[in-house]
Chain A
Amino acid sequence: MSSQRTGAQILWEALHREGVEVVFGYPGGAIMPAYDALLESPIRHVLVRHEQGAAHMADGYARTSGKVGVAVATSGPGATNLVTGIATAMLDSVPIVCITGQVGSRFLGSDAFQETDITGVTLPITKHNYLVTRAGDIAKTIREAFYVARSGRPGPVLVDITKDAQQAHVTPEWSDEPVRMRGYRPEHRAGAEDLARAAEMIDRAKRPVVLAGHGIVKANATGLLHELVEKTDMPVASTLLGLGGFPATHRLSLGMMGMHGEAWVNHAIQESDLLLALGMRFDDRVTGTLETFAVNAQKIHCELDPAEINKNVRADVALVGDVKETLAALLPLVGERERRAWIDRITELKGDSAVRDIQRMPHRGALFAAHVMHDLWRITEGRALVVTDVGQHQMWEAQYYKHDHPRKLVTSGGLGTMGFALPAALGAKLASPGDEVWVIAGDGGFQMTACELATVAQEGIKLNIAIINNGYLGMVRQWQEFFYDGRYSATPLKSPDFVKLAEAHGLFGLRVTRREEVEPAISRARGTAGTVLIDFRVEQEDAVYPMVPAGAALHDMIRRPSPIVETATDVEWAGFAPAHGRDE
């Protein structure tokens, strides 16, 4: 009898054995046995205010640490509240494990109180999921779940455990053997012939561009990428999630490609004769219309997931496997090259871009989001761990905060989940307590998960929060301006007083309306022990430039008008759009 343990106790022991130190969750009826057993576990629990926050925290924790993040929720609404966070992790290939309580096994399928078929609901947005109805299956399932989540192309795994399975007593069987699964074969290795062909293409190329994606960061392949491009003198363009995978300040770094990539980056890709795509999947946001994408370039596609090969862009050579292993194999095969003519051409392509840059505009007191990003980068010496939300500020961050190190930018790329930043930052801070963490969010997205300010306060976590407040759902407003004849439908946004909101949570808040206040505010936040929220009242109708309209060719960009037009002044920040808006 003494060796017997409840399923709930086995659950925590299994998590502990996987190296879990912290979980993010919210209790409820069907998960109560697990929460009772939690009291005897050394694992730290962070009580969230909404389960979506738990999934994003696990996600931020995983992206920052490279380990598996864990979220816990009850059945029914608890489980369905995780869905957005799970889908976010799925599209960005982030390893998280979600544990959900489920009604007792004899009530399954009876529409019992708080019953949801969560394995059915999450089937298309998890890498795999499990329904566990017996205590004896918990230990093995948790091991498998962690293995599936982190191996191959990582992704979210959900484990749904019935209440009776949590309560039942069994003698646990622990195994230190490697996980064996009959049908799951996540490992691939690029073939020698393909590697040789790829090397030959690289040697021959006159205008090559490396496209560095999230895979570089995930595979910890930054060092090898560095070696490869130094040896071959190939410029590197990054996807949004690839930022930091190659140092932004390196002479061969071009910057971000795609819809809001800098003009010269997209032009370089369009003029290239070889694209070496590393751990990226040719998302529509980085290619523009496919028919016109880099038509003269051969493509080498290094990718872990064979299902991505030829999905959007046809590869001349596919190197399927872990990017780090592929680069290690490729490196000795390529010859040293100097490509001065090509590098000079790209410099020429930069042309007047720098002049159009908002940093070069005469300073008239108005505050642009770009100022905030640039100053933040300068003051933090590019070393902060930045967690962004989704929208205009996300693109400005990507353009103006130069990331030189991997895993220092956490952002929702594939799903584009507003509300991601604050909870993800909390997870990131717990994964890397020594880092200076900055949340950058818009006034819209921040309010989607602003309830997690209470979690930040309760857990005593130090974050720096920058709200880029323009009184609009800015990115949608920008699209309305460009493509919907300036008809601002449901984008003007009236927000609460964010400074008071911070204060209501016992946190420190301050407001910035002029450019000269930016630096003191950032310094104040950095020098304060607790979480500080800064409400940056920025230019209301600024747009992200350049922009490749959806469905246009990558070189077909809308550029920043010159001279730029300032629509608001530092004195009268309207706060609510109709005051200066479109009502004729």
Chain B
Amino acid sequence: MPDVRLRTYIMHVEDLPGVLNRVTSLFRRRGYNIESLTVGRTEVAGVSRMTIVMEADDDAARRIEANLYKLVNMLRVEDTTSRPCVTRELALIKVRADNANRAHVLQLAEVFRARAIDVAPEALIFEITGPRDKIDGLAEVLAAYGIVEMVRTGAVAMLRSAEAAVEQPQITNAA
């Protein structure tokens, strides 16, 4: 599969019970592996927004989109992979640090623009926001000191420019 890569989808769905389940069930049933998934409210009442990151080749990506559109509660799907967009993820990382090396660890984190949000005698918690590779980078650097635990939100994405990912939903009339 030459064109397999991570892809980011923005989806707008009706905010109804069970819709998240319908989306994840589709991915599971078709055998697609979700890298990350976030869901939350939008500026429009009754509409939720999901960002899903997953690995797929071009063909699979197109079929995923077509399959997502078959979900009755799906309003719009946008594959942002090859379009200009900003993608951000938030992570909390708890790392071992004591009096001997705390200053050094803080300095390193500073390079990544991570903020220390909790200081304990033997550990620090950093908060970092950024694209995925930036967070990977910090985690890699901190690993040498011992990461106690880490939590990541998964990516959220938004297209650049004034364009909105969701256009006015079309209304379909019964035949």
User: Closest residue to B28 on the A side, CB-wise?
Assistant: A124
CA distance A184 to B22 in the complex (A): 14
Check: A364 CB closer than 8 A to any chain B CB.
no
CA distance A151 to B70 in the complex (A): 12
Inter-chain contact A309/B14, CB cutoff 8 Å: no
Residue of B14, B21, B175 with most chain A CB atoms under a 10 A cut-off? B175
Contact of B69 among A124, A131, A181, A185 (CB under 8 A): A185
Check: A251 CB closer than 8 A to any chain B CB.
no
Q: How many residues of B contact A (CB 8 A)?
A: 27
Contact of A178 among B14, B18, B169, B173 (CB under 8 A): B173
The smallest beta-carbon distance between B171 and chain A, in angstroms, is 5
Q: How many residues of A contact B (CB 8 A)?
A: 26
- A108-127 interface (Cβ within 8 A of B): 119-120, 123-124, 127
With a cutoff of 8 Å between Cβ atoms, the chain B residues found around residue A147 in the complex are 174
CA distance A402 to B17 in the complex (A): 49
Binary contact track B1-34/A, C-beta < 8 Å → 1, others 0: 0000000000001100110011001000100000
Check: A187 CB closer than 8 A to any chain B CB.
yes
The smallest beta-carbon distance between A147 and chain B, in angstroms, is 5
Binary contact track A327-360/B, C-beta < 8 Å → 1, others 0: 0000000000000000000000000000000000
User: Closest residue to A186 on the B side, CB-wise?
Assistant: B172
With a cutoff of 8 Å between Cβ atoms, the chain A residues found around residue B39 in the complex are none
With a cutoff of 8 Å between Cβ atoms, the chain B residues found around residue A124 in the complex are 25, 29
- A174-188 interface (Cβ within 8 A of B): 178-187
Given contacts A124-B29, A148-B72, A310 and B62 within 8 Å (CB-CB): yes
Known A-B contacts: A178-B174, A180-B172. Give 19 more (CB < 8 A): A119-B18, A123-B18, A127-B72, A131-B17, A131-B18, A151-B175, A181-B72, A183-B13, A183-B14, A183-B72, A183-B75, A184-B172, A185-B69, A187-B172, A305-B70, A307-B67, A307-B69, A307-B70, A310-B59
Check: A128 CB closer than 8 A to any chain B CB.
yes
Given contacts A123-B21, A151-B175, A310-B59, A182 and B66 within 8 Å (CB-CB): no
The smallest beta-carbon distance between B11 and chain A, in angstroms, is 10
- B13-66 interface (Cβ within 8 A of A): 13-14, 17-18, 21-22, 25, 29, 59, 62-63, 66
The smallest beta-carbon distance between A117 and chain B, in angstroms, is 10
Check: A306 CB closer than 8 A to any chain B CB.
yes
CA distance A305 to B69 in the complex (A): 10
The smallest beta-carbon distance between B65 and chain A, in angstroms, is 9
Residue of B14, B173, B174 with most chain A CB atoms under a 10 A cut-off? B174
Check: B73 CB closer than 8 A to any chain A CB.
yes
With a cutoff of 8 Å between Cβ atoms, the chain A residues found around residue B71 in the complex are 183
User: Closest residue to A152 on the B side, CB-wise?
Assistant: B70
With a cutoff of 8 Å between Cβ atoms, the chain A residues found around residue B69 in the complex are 185, 306-307
- B67-121 interface (Cβ within 8 A of A): 67, 69-75
Residue of A124, A147, A180, A183 with most chain B CB atoms under a 10 A cut-off? A183
Inter-chain contact B63/A307, CB cutoff 8 Å: yes
Residues of A within 8 A of B (CB): 119-120, 123-124, 127-128, 131, 147-148, 151, 178-187, 305-307, 309-311
Inter-chain contact B172/A128, CB cutoff 8 Å: no
24 intermolecular pairs with C-beta atoms under 8 Å apart:
A119-B18, A120-B21, A123-B18, A123-B21, A123-B22, A123-B25, A124-B25, A128-B72, A131-B17, A131-B18, A151-B175, A178-B174, A180-B172, A180-B173, A181-B72, A183-B13, A183-B73, A183-B74, A184-B172, A185-B69, A185-B172, A306-B69, A307-B67, A307-B70
User: Closest residue to A157 on the B side, CB-wise?
Assistant: B72
CA distance A184 to B169 in the complex (A): 10
CA distance A329 to B67 in the complex (A): 26
List the 10 shortest-distance A-B pairs measured between CB atoms, nearest first: A307-B66, A178-B174, A179-B174, A178-B173, A306-B66, A128-B72, A183-B75, A307-B67, A184-B72, A183-B74
With a cutoff of 8 Å between Cβ atoms, the chain A residues found around residue B175 in the complex are 151
Check: B161 CB closer than 8 A to any chain A CB.
no
Contact of B170 among A119, A123, A179, A185 (CB under 8 A): A185
User: Closest residue to B59 on the A side, CB-wise?
Assistant: A310
CA distance A127 to B71 in the complex (A): 8
Contact of A183 among B25, B67, B169 (CB under 8 A): B169
With a cutoff of 8 Å between Cβ atoms, the chain A residues found around residue B29 in the complex are 124
With a cutoff of 8 Å between Cβ atoms, the chain B residues found around residue A306 in the complex are 66, 69
CA distance A125 to B110 in the complex (A): 51
With a cutoff of 8 Å between Cβ atoms, the chain A residues found around residue B172 in the complex are 180-181, 184-187
With a cutoff of 8 Å between Cβ atoms, the chain A residues found around residue B171 in the complex are 180, 182
- B137-175 interface (Cβ within 8 A of A): 169-175
User: Closest residue to B74 on the A side, CB-wise?
Assistant: A183
CA distance A306 to B17 in the complex (A): 27
With a cutoff of 8 Å between Cβ atoms, the chain A residues found around residue B22 in the complex are 123
User: Closest residue to B62 on the A side, CB-wise?
Assistant: A310
CA distance A179 to B72 in the complex (A): 13
With a cutoff of 8 Å between Cβ atoms, the chain B residues found around residue A187 in the complex are 172
With a cutoff of 8 Å between Cβ atoms, the chain B residues found around residue A183 in the complex are 13-14, 71-75, 169
The smallest beta-carbon distance between B74 and chain A, in angstroms, is 5
CA distance A120 to B175 in the complex (A): 29
User: Closest residue to A308 on the B side, CB-wise?
Assistant: B66
With a cutoff of 8 Å between Cβ atoms, the chain A residues found around residue B75 in the complex are 182-183
CA distance A306 to B72 in the complex (A): 15
CA distance A366 to B59 in the complex (A): 53
With a cutoff of 8 Å between Cβ atoms, the chain B residues found around residue A131 in the complex are 17-18
User: Closest residue to A144 on the B side, CB-wise?
Assistant: B72
User: Closest residue to A155 on the B side, CB-wise?
Assistant: B70
CA distance A183 to B69 in the complex (A): 8
Inter-chain contact B14/A311, CB cutoff 8 Å: no
User: Closest residue to A307 on the B side, CB-wise?
Assistant: B66
CA distance A127 to B72 in the complex (A): 8
CA distance A120 to B25 in the complex (A): 10
The smallest beta-carbon distance between B79 and chain A, in angstroms, is 14
User: Closest residue to A125 on the B side, CB-wise?
Assistant: B29
CA distance A148 to B72 in the complex (A): 8
Inter-chain contact A309/B66, CB cutoff 8 Å: yes
With a cutoff of 8 Å between Cβ atoms, the chain B residues found around residue A311 in the complex are 63
CA distance A564 to B168 in the complex (A): 67
With a cutoff of 8 Å between Cβ atoms, the chain B residues found around residue A180 in the complex are 171-173
With a cutoff of 8 Å between Cβ atoms, the chain B residues found around residue A309 in the complex are 66
CA distance A275 to B25 in the complex (A): 34
With a cutoff of 8 Å between Cβ atoms, the chain B residues found around residue A148 in the complex are 72
User: Closest residue to B29 on the A side, CB-wise?
Assistant: A124
With a cutoff of 8 Å between Cβ atoms, the chain A residues found around residue B21 in the complex are 120, 123
